[in-house]
Amino acid sequence: MFFGSDNQSCASQPILDAIIAANQGFTHGYGDDHYTQQAIDQLSAVFECELDVFFVPTGTAANCLALASLVKPWQTVLCHSSSHIIMDESTAPEFFTGGARIMGIAQHSNKLTAEHIRHYMSLGGDDIPHNSQVGAVSITQANELGQVYSATDIQAISHECKQHGLKLHMDGARFSNAVSHLKCRPAELTWQVGVDVLSLGATKCGALCAEAVIFFNKDDARSMPHLRKRAGHLISKGRLFGSQFSAWLHDNHWLELADHANQHAQKLAQQLKAFADIKIIWPVQANELFITLPKPLADHLNAQGAEFYDWYPAILPVHMALNGNDRYVRLVTSFLTSDAHCNEFVQVIENYLKNN
Amino acid sequence: MFFGSDNQSCASQPILDAIIAANQGFTHGYGDDHYTQQAIDQLSAVFECELDVFFVPTGTAANCLALASLVKPWQTVLCHSSSHIIMDESTAPEFFTGGARIMGIAQHSNKLTAEHIRHYMSLGGDDIPHNSQVGAVSITQANELGQVYSATDIQAISHECKQHGLKLHMDGARFSNAVSHLKCRPAELTWQVGVDVLSLGATKCGALCAEAVIFFNKDDARSMPHLRKRAGHLISKGRLFGSQFSAWLHDNHWLELADHANQHAQKLAQQLKAFADIKIIWPVQANELFITLPKPLADHLNAQGAEFYDWYPAILPVHMALNGNDRYVRLVTSFLTSDAHCNEFVQVIENYLKNN
Amino acid sequence: MFFGSDNQSCASQPILDAIIAANQGFTHGYGDDHYTQQAIDQLSAVFECELDVFFVPTGTAANCLALASLVKPWQTVLCHSSSHIIMDESTAPEFFTGGARIMGIAQHSNKLTAEHIRHYMSLGGDDIPHNSQVGAVSITQANELGQVYSATDIQAISHECKQHGLKLHMDGARFSNAVSHLKCRPAELTWQVGVDVLSLGATKCGALCAEAVIFFNKDDARSMPHLRKRAGHLISKGRLFGSQFSAWLHDNHWLELADHANQHAQKLAQQLKAFADIKIIWPVQANELFITLPKPLADHLNAQGAEFYDWYPAILPVHMALNGNDRYVRLVTSFLTSDAHCNEFVQVIENYLKNN
Amino acid sequence: MFFGSDNQSCASQPILDAIIAANQGFTHGYGDDHYTQQAIDQLSAVFECELDVFFVPTGTAANCLALASLVKPWQTVLCHSSSHIIMDESTAPEFFTGGARIMGIAQHSNKLTAEHIRHYMSLGGDDIPHNSQVGAVSITQANELGQVYSATDIQAISHECKQHGLKLHMDGARFSNAVSHLKCRPAELTWQVGVDVLSLGATKCGALCAEAVIFFNKDDARSMPHLRKRAGHLISKGRLFGSQFSAWLHDNHWLELADHANQHAQKLAQQLKAFADIKIIWPVQANELFITLPKPLADHLNAQGAEFYDWYPAILPVHMALNGNDRYVRLVTSFLTSDAHCNEFVQVIENYLKNN
């Protein structure tokens, strides 16, 4: 019962098969191979535009290289206070950007909005060079509370960004889950609504180790070859990334994987709603559930082998302070989550409640 | 009518005289001169302890070198959301620390408290190495809202810091104003209540260009010679700093200067209380007043030559949103502020109100 | 005829098989899985000691994280002027170390020696904090000129390092090739002769994407979890690295791969010695050959599909300035290089010479 | 007998007088005062062109901010291997530039030449992003061996720079000494011969604490307000710098000071030539002498109160290895050096030689 993270899963079979197929003979190194080129072509087709793509091994690298491309070291990046870049990547954003500031806002909301940005920008702080100026906004799709930004949400955000000359970055570690939820075309959620750079994650969504930084505006990408190299993220056997992305995108495999994960999150949510003691905190949209449940029950689940993480209490809705008897935990499903895993989880709960 | 900042004043005459006196013949460079040594000895006497001192030209350098001595690049510095290090030093803290995070809290309070720190530390985020861990707390004395931390306040904060293994830095750009207000011994406000490093500012308080980073714990200072040099803050003719600090501390000159500034802030506050349209937002303790006043009146004051800055509306008390007809401004007094300056300021207001 | 680099080869079959075998079901993320643990145990057995291991995706990351663990930002790293860290990793060493200096010495020698270090250290520059002090020495085994350091060489170097309090790093991107050449036990080439940290590369030597930073002294490793994370080099599905290293080390597979590569370098060298116009510049010890050959011949080889890189003319022996009619190129063999590849290469040369 | 450095002198009387005169009443802070503006206007007149000026407290700050304006963090700065930026500023250049590489060349020459640059650029290393590309060249005028670059020298260097798209920085900590030696107009030694940015030092040449970064091309200066602020080098009471520069430049005071220093270097050189045991290593052009002399004599001079520094033996001409019986030392004169100082120094030598 692994609900700790979608990265606890292995790679899907088609992706593994692609790695195997690519593992033959010699190719040029450092991404100058046809697997890489093919993956780029597929990305271009999927996003219906020309784009600059840089493959990297981790989501942290993808996000932080993207930000380093967009802001100067004396600028500030605005993001939701629960975002991965501010909560879960150590001080990598500061490191990669040469010391830009990362500023979390929208503290008790479950999504960043244009209004949050407008409010922050209205608070003054335009005394240059004393005040650090905002250079970019970063949003996560689907975000760290399992919430999905609609095309309209993003459009409003990017509109506000443009008023202030800010670049817009999207952390798409679970972009496929968002696309699956919205049934949109990828273009409709990115460059067509003003996203400048997308960190597109495959690792959490069925790959073994494959992330891409996608620039919809080539000018923004000019420093990237240098930034990636000097951060040690230009791997020599580039076919590892090319083959995975190629298989992931082929024939909508990426969306099938995301559909599977999302559906199992919905299914689990349905099952958990039956229990009065368990509260689902945020709407279940992608592949993450945030619930509160009695501590003894949560501990029992852990003891029975269920894996999940306690989540940051700072990121509860403001009206819902955590009472001392509950745990606030996150459950994540993946392409590998089966009905059996969900049922077993629910069964443990039922058994526990019966006996307590 | 210069109420823009205490750094709009020249140096006091005794300090200038000391510069003149030190400007004779040859000495060793880089602080290896007797003016510097004498200043260090005086600091030691004033603080009643052994200490390591590093003189630098600016408050930003003093603060950021202090922080760089205390935290690792992957750690976080907690501070009040209105603090100078987060509002007015660009991204210097990130630069000097090699990319540590600067996190502003206590947003709508006028001082940071132990409770604010306790709350922040309770919010989780102890998953190493994913979550950046707090390494230090920085407070400003007197702070950017003109508030003074009592010895008891500081003791409570440092007690909380020790619970979590955090270092405590004090930005003392206006330390003399705080000492003057509290009538404490400097030791009682620093090392005796758990302050590890003090940025002691003389520039705003009567000097021309002289700041000191004071370490009460020599272990914390080990990197400082290197940090200061590679940041370009080791000046060659060290007598410039030594002579100023020496004169500043001599015979309580520093406290006389601060007393003068504080008293004129009190005086101005008394005078302004007479006007119904002017609200004093925070208690006047040191040498800064924060007021709201009708826009046309504020504009008229500026037109008549009064200098002051609009302050960040983010740093109003939460119940006091700025209405569109007012301006929220900061008035700062210094050793050079005279009764005549205050009276002229008040006269302009009276004349304006009479005619409008 | 791929002689461009050993990273132009795919992974060996046993290593691919291990990736396939590990790609099943769920595990914990971020290296907390049994594949990773098993690889660490095997490394410990191979090196006959306890060690701290950090797996990363690239050699640049491995080297630069190692250096960042060993030196302060105000220190200097000494290395051979042809070393990978100074020639081929952009300014990654400066980036990871927070701005330490990388200083190349021993310019016209084919190996760094204790004498080079002694000479550099004798040149003064000990005025602290003005002069940057050397903090570490980095050597490459086998090095960028295909040369192998004997245990005695390394012992002499580390002895000199200890005289000056310097740490010793070894870039082991081709460590297996060196071990294969010397027929030593790995311990004899590392911790037993004073190496503090080893970047152990598997990627060039038969893996797909797998490097390790190995600390023989746990104290040196204390910052590594943070350094790796904030550089984006902590991958989530750690089994990718664990499985590869495990298969690589299993049953001496790593040394068989290296033997194969080295033997084909020797074979090719033997064949090339027959041609008067081709000069082998440095002794062939590991899996690299450095030759000069007439430009038209080199161009013809390229035209016939032979891949190799022109090498930096700065790194010719001082007596051997490159004449305008020759090209100075590097040929690299790998576990995948076959007799047929070598023979085809030689055949192209013979045919060309016959007809010209 | 202070021949240790020109920064061992106090400020000249006219410069001190200017500080005194400026120390009156209120002005705007952070360089927005008329003393600063007047100094900028004078610089513009002296250099006969429009320029962007940024005052800072130290030469290290001036040099490193200039370099940070010119190069990207993944680029390399070429300089003479004896230059101040590589020998005497710790790793400040790496720190300010965000980790660019500092590469010393021309090791056994006493000046950098166009030929040195051409040679370095010919050595390959243009494989992007693997090889760090040169972005700028930095020369020192007068340089760290007391040598002066003629207008023709600089023209040749800048011509070579332009061939490769490199920016040209001049460290002018002793620019006035060079101008005095060459009897050129400042423009002829800077922008008219291709210098992009000049660090103009007044501190060593008669001021108390005043350096300027001068941009002849406004585009290069765009990041400077931010770079200076976040490095803590924007002082609040800007009149300190403005008044000094104003007095320094007024009525050719700066050149009179330099003439005095240079003439006393010449005088001392003439006197020392009389002693067979003392060798003057480099031509005396500005205000520095580099000599070798018997150890016992040098020790005796020190014992008699003569101040001077042993110089880096690495920076001897290649044919002149230091024998074990000599010391290689630097003597620096300043505006404060008197005939009496020189005579006393020579007298000590004569007395010693008579008695030994």
> DSSP readout, D216-245?
SSGGGGTTHHHHHHHTT---S-THHHHHHH
Residue in chain A nearest C12 by alpha carbon = A23
Between the two ends of chain B, the Cα-to-Cα distance in Å is 22
User: To which residue do tokens 């970063």 refer?
Assistant: A138
pLDDT above 70: residue A319: no
Q: Are C90 and D312 inside 8 Å of each other by CB?
A: no
Longest dimension (CA), chain D: 65
The alpha carbon of C45 is separated from its chain's Cα centroid by a whole number of angstroms, namely: 22
Please give the pLDDT value at position B318: 63
Amino acid at A284: V
Number of neighbouring beta carbons within 10 Å of residue D4: 18
pLDDT above 80: residue A314: no
User: To which residue do tokens 């930034």 refer?
Assistant: A227
pLDDT above 90: residue C108: no
Read off the pLDDT band of D322 (50, 70, 90).
Answer: confident
Residue A231 and residue C58: Cα distance in Å, rounded? 10
pLDDT above 70: residue C119: yes
Measured over the CA atoms of residue A288, residue A294, residue A295 and residue A297, the dihedral's sign is negative
Q: What percent of chain A has pLDDT over 90?
A: 94
Residue C349 and residue C347: Cα distance in Å, rounded? 5
The tokens for A62 are 């993808």
Report the relative pairing of strands A75-80 and A133-140 from DSSP bridges. Answer: parallel
ipTM: 0.97
Q: How far is B275 from chain D (nearest CA, A)?
A: 27
Is A56 in CB contact (< 8 Å) with chain D?
A: no
The tokens for C279 are 């000069």
The alpha carbon of B347 is separated from its chain's Cα centroid by a whole number of angstroms, namely: 30
pLDDT above 70: residue C303: yes
User: To which residue do tokens 């958990």 refer?
Assistant: A272
Q: How far is D118 from chain C (nearest CA, A)?
A: 13
- If contacts are CB pairs under 8 Å, which of residues 74-133 in chain C contact chain A? 89-92, 95-96
Contact C93, C100 (CB under 8 A): yes
Q: Which helix (H) or strand (E) holds A244?
A: helix A239-249
How many residues are present in chain C? 356
- If contacts are CB pairs under 8 Å, which of residues 295-324 in chain C contact chain A? 307
Contact C309, C7 (CB under 8 A): no
Mean pLDDT across chain D, nearest whole number?
A: 96
Please give the pLDDT value at position D318: 63
Longest dimension (CA), chain B: 65
Residue in chain C nearest A64 by alpha carbon = C232
pLDDT under 50 in chain B at which residues? Answer: none
Q: Residue A238 to residues A35, A37, C247, D130: CA-CA distances in angstroms?
A: 8, 10, 21, 15
Contact A227, A71 (CB under 8 A): no
Residue D309, SS3? strand
Number of neighbouring beta carbons within 10 Å of residue B118: 13
Residue in chain B nearest C100 by alpha carbon = B230
Name the region of C212 (left: φ>0; alpha: ψ -120 to 50; beta: rest).
beta
Residue C325 and residue A149: Cα distance in Å, rounded? 63
Query: pLDDT per residue over B158-198, tens digit each?
Result: 999 999 999 999 999 999 999 999 999 999 999 999 999 99
Amino acid at A1: M
Least confident of A86-90, C88-92, D352-356: D352-356
Question: Cα-atom radius of gyration of chain B, to the nearest Å?
Answer: 21
Identify which of A213, A189, A190, A186 has the alpha carbon closest to the alpha carbon of residue A60.
A213
Query: pLDDT per residue over A99-140, tens digit each?
Result: 999 999 998 899 999 999 999 999 878 999 999 999 999 999
Number of neighbouring beta carbons within 10 Å of residue B348: 18
The tokens for A169 are 């970055």
pLDDT above 90: residue C124: no
Is B355 in CB contact (< 8 Å) with chain D?
A: no
Least confident of A285-289, A311-315, B287-291, D126-130: A311-315
Mean per-residue pLDDT, D98-127: 94
- If contacts are CB pairs under 8 Å, which of residues 134-173 in chain A contact chain C? none
Helical packing angle, B253-272 and B339-355, nearest 10°: 10
pLDDT above 90: residue D140: yes
Q: How far is C35 from chain A (nearest CA, A)?
A: 13
Q: Are D129 and A223 inside 8 Å of each other by CB?
A: no
Chain D partners of B232 at a C-beta cutoff of 8 Å?
A: 56-58, 60-62, 64-65, 89, 92, 96, 231, 233
Helices (H), C252-331: 253-272, 295-303
Query: pLDDT per residue over C329-346, tens digit each?
Result: 999 999 999 999 999 999
D330 DSSP assignment = E
How many residues are present in chain D? 356
Question: Cα-atom radius of gyration of chain A, to the nearest Å?
Answer: 21
The tokens for A88 are 């879960």
Please give the pLDDT value at position D319: 66
Read off the pLDDT band of C318 (50, 70, 90).
Answer: low
Amino acid at C76: T
Q: Are C226 and B130 inside 8 Å of each other by CB?
A: no
Q: Are B5 and D203 inside 8 Å of each other by CB?
A: no
Please give the pLDDT value at position A324: 81
Please give the pLDDT value at position B186: 98
A141 DSSP assignment = S
A281 DSSP assignment = -
Number of neighbouring beta carbons within 10 Å of residue A97: 29
Amino acid at C305: G
Mean per-residue pLDDT, A194-204: 98
Residue in chain C nearest D310 by alpha carbon = C124
Helices (H), A98-238: 114-122, 151-164, 175-182, 224-230
Query: pLDDT per residue over A31-78, tens digit each?
Result: 999 999 999 999 999 999 999 999 999 999 999 999 999 999 999 999
Query: pLDDT per residue over A143-190, tens digit each?
Result: 999 999 999 999 999 999 999 999 999 999 999 999 999 999 999 999
Residue A132 and residue D258: Cα distance in Å, rounded? 41
Read off the pLDDT band of C6 (50, 70, 90).
Answer: very high
Mean per-residue pLDDT, D254-264: 98
Q: What angle do CA B81, B82, B84 make, to 5 degrees?
A: 115
Please give the pLDDT value at position C320: 72
Residue D94 and residue D82: Cα distance in Å, rounded? 17
Chain C partners of D129 at a C-beta cutoff of 8 Å?
A: 90
